[in-house]
A and B are shown apart, each in its own frame.
Chain A
Amino acid sequence: MSASLKSLGLGIVAVANQKGGVGKTTTVIQLASGLARGGARVLAVDGDPQGNLSLFFGRAEGRDLSDLMGELLDGRVPGIDGYLASKVREGLDLLPATHRRLRRERSDADMLRAAPAFASLLAGLRERYDWILVDCSPSNGALERMLVRACEAVIVPLEFQLFSVAGLQSMLDDVNACTAEAGHGIRVHSLVFTKAENRVARVESYREVFSAFRIPIFEVCRSEYIPRSLERSRTIWESGPSSYAARDYARIIERVFLE
């Protein structure tokens, strides 16, 4: 059996895959809110300039990650509270992304320059939060490198699809590169196949191949509860706590984080 993040002492976790539409934001929503419901103190970081995580939690305006980076680039160490949306759920705070133009506002060089200060800032928040979950955007640019470098572990959501699996290799290469840049280990802890279906020949082939790997791999079944709950800004724990998808996420929380 593999060790959980808790037993490894790893608390800053990126949810990342450069492929879009694989369920990164959904996974962060369910894991962060699920951990908070269990009594943990959780910070969710919206690292995607699309800001979907922030929209979900009702934060479309206000100071955000881009502003925070500005302060860091100016050499200031800002107090984090002015940037947070506090208690978006009980026990859960959010560092939002409300500037959709973040990539235009901040150059790649800026982001890489801000990376060490950003990593220090998140590391400093570990005393305040049991878990920091970072929702990365579907790319492998400087922003994502800055985010992953600040993390201690990575969870990779993916789909049973050619492009998604092809992207995984690049993702693993990127994490290795980030590890070298960060100067500390960044562990690819587990994979999560989202939107899992059964009785599909393609899925069976993937299962057979991935079953041979000795890394925690989970499935979250395709569920009508998820799109419906996202539409209403409700987590799976609020809209379908007894659904199979909720059970799947609960199992990930237990095995990956808490055991």
Chain B
Amino acid sequence: MAARKRNKERDRLATSLASSLGASLPDSGGSYEVSSAFVLPERRRFLGTWVIAEHTVEGLPYIDSFAASILRGASLAEPSYASLYDFREALCVKRVMIRGLVELPEGRAEFSYRMSAAVSWELERGFLVVRPELAYQSTSLDGKPAAVKELSFSGEPTRLAYRFERGGLLLEEGADLKFLTRGES
């Protein structure tokens, strides 16, 4: 029991020491690569369902940039945002749902947005590389469909830096930062 406690304390000390190294190590844009012997286990860490806990773009809540792009600047009152990632061996299914109240010339309306995408995914040099296979989005106003469309892709994969931290998964694509936690499908 005492030995286990000592080991725990030693590990805590080592982790704390390692954390303090950050200021001394140069920032050369490198990343962490696990041994090729453990790549499969690394991939396994992704499997299952994750939900968005935090999502920012350039430090601001994602919902703000969403309103700027999809609603062309109209504000979204009382917004709710949920996003789910279901990682399977070959594919990851992503679902996004955003709701809120939008001001229109004819008055306030309930707005909802849904997006579903199936992407193939790989781990490569410390990056999560995703290739969209199929995706569509739909919007509705006051419960009535406003637009449905299949999304087109450039064919280029998207590379997201990732790391597991705070018991969750951090995904980074430029200024877009997502922190996912384990969820139920």
Q: Chain A, 218-237, contact with B by CB distance < 8 Å: what is the 0/1 string?
A: 11110100000000000000
The answer to whether A219 and B28 touch (CB under 8 A), given A169-B17, A205-B15, is no
Q: Is the CB of A219 within 8 A of B34?
A: yes
Q: Which range holds the interface residue count of chain B?
A: 20 to 34
A109 adjacent to chain B (CB < 8 Å): no
A133 adjacent to chain B (CB < 8 Å): no
Residue of A2, A220, A245 ringed by the most chain B CB atoms within 10 A: A2
Give Cα A221–Cα B37 distance, bound, in whole angstroms.
7
- Residues in B whose Cβ lies below 8 Å from that of A198: 35, 37-38, 41
Q: Is the CB of B31 within 8 A of A162?
A: no
Q: Which of B19, B24, B30, B36 contacts A247 (CB 8 A)?
A: B36
Q: Is the CB of B24 within 8 A of A172?
A: yes
Give Cα A221–Cα B36 distance, bound, in whole angstroms.
8
Q: Tell me, rounded to whole Å, the shortest Cβ–Cβ distance linking B37 to chain A.
A: 4
Q: Is the CB of A211 within 8 A of B164?
A: yes
Q: Is the CB of A207 within 8 A of B31?
A: no
The answer to whether A202 and B11 touch (CB under 8 A), given A209-B18, A209-B19, A211-B163, is yes
Q: Chain A, 162-196, contact with B by CB distance < 8 Å: what is the 0/1 string?
A: 10011011001100000000000001111000001
- Residues in A whose Cβ lies below 8 Å from that of B18: 165, 206, 209-210
Give Cα A187–Cα B27 distance, bound, in whole angstroms.
11
Give Cα A175–Cα B95 distance, bound, in whole angstroms.
49
- Residues in A whose Cβ lies below 8 Å from that of B19: 209
Which residue of chain A has its CB nearest to the CB of B11?
A202
The answer to whether A215 and B15 touch (CB under 8 A), given A1-B125, A248-B35, is no
- Residues in B whose Cβ lies below 8 Å from that of A189: 28
6 example contacts (A-B, Cβ-Cβ < 8 A) are as follows: A168-B21, A190-B30, A208-B165, A212-B165, A215-B25, A244-B35
